[in-house]
Copies of this chain bind each other. A is one copy, B any other.
Amino acid sequence: MKISTKGRYALRLMLDLAINNTGEFIPLKLVSERQDISVKYLEQIITVLVKAGYVRGLRGSKGGYKLAGKPEDYTVGMILRLTEGSLAPVACLEGDTNYCERADECITLGLWKELYEAINNVVDNTTLADLIERYNSKIGNDYCI
């Protein structure tokens, strides 16, 4: 029951881009230094975010990445699902492919559904903007979004 580094790093990556946004493209080298994650690993993770259209990339010198939209457009759930895959606590709740023949008589299925909903409820009701705002008001720090 752990969120993998891919999911966690993707979230930190998006937050880093949001917080340090100046309108320019931000190279992964800078993100790497700030977040203490290797550029190579970040490249691998950001690929998915680019393909999903959450992030725009520009090659070459003066290149880098920036969020395609605004921080309030991206929920934690969107980002985690993209990098982690489904957040379902059991496979039988994922799509139609993993149908379990025990489903009808399954005593625990209801529990897993409840758990799934509780998880979704948290991640789908928190945006990047929320996280940044909460952090600022807590610390007294003031990131410029």
Contact = CB atoms under 8 A, between A and B. Distances in A.
Contact of A76 (B8, B12, B84, B111): B111
Interface stretch (A23-31, A38-46, A51-59, A130-138): A130-138
Please report whether the interface of chain A is mostly helix, strand, loop or mixed according to DSSP: helix
Interface residues on A, range: 35 or more
A98 to B, nearest CB: 11
A24 to B, nearest CB: 22
Interface of A: 1-3, 8, 11-12, 15, 76, 84, 86-91, 105, 107-108, 110-112, 114-115, 118-119, 121-123, 126, 131-132, 134-135, 138-139
Given A3-B89, A114-B122, 13 more contacts: A1-B2, A1-B84, A2-B89, A3-B112, A11-B108, A12-B108, A107-B132, A108-B131, A110-B131, A110-B135, A110-B138, A115-B122, A118-B121
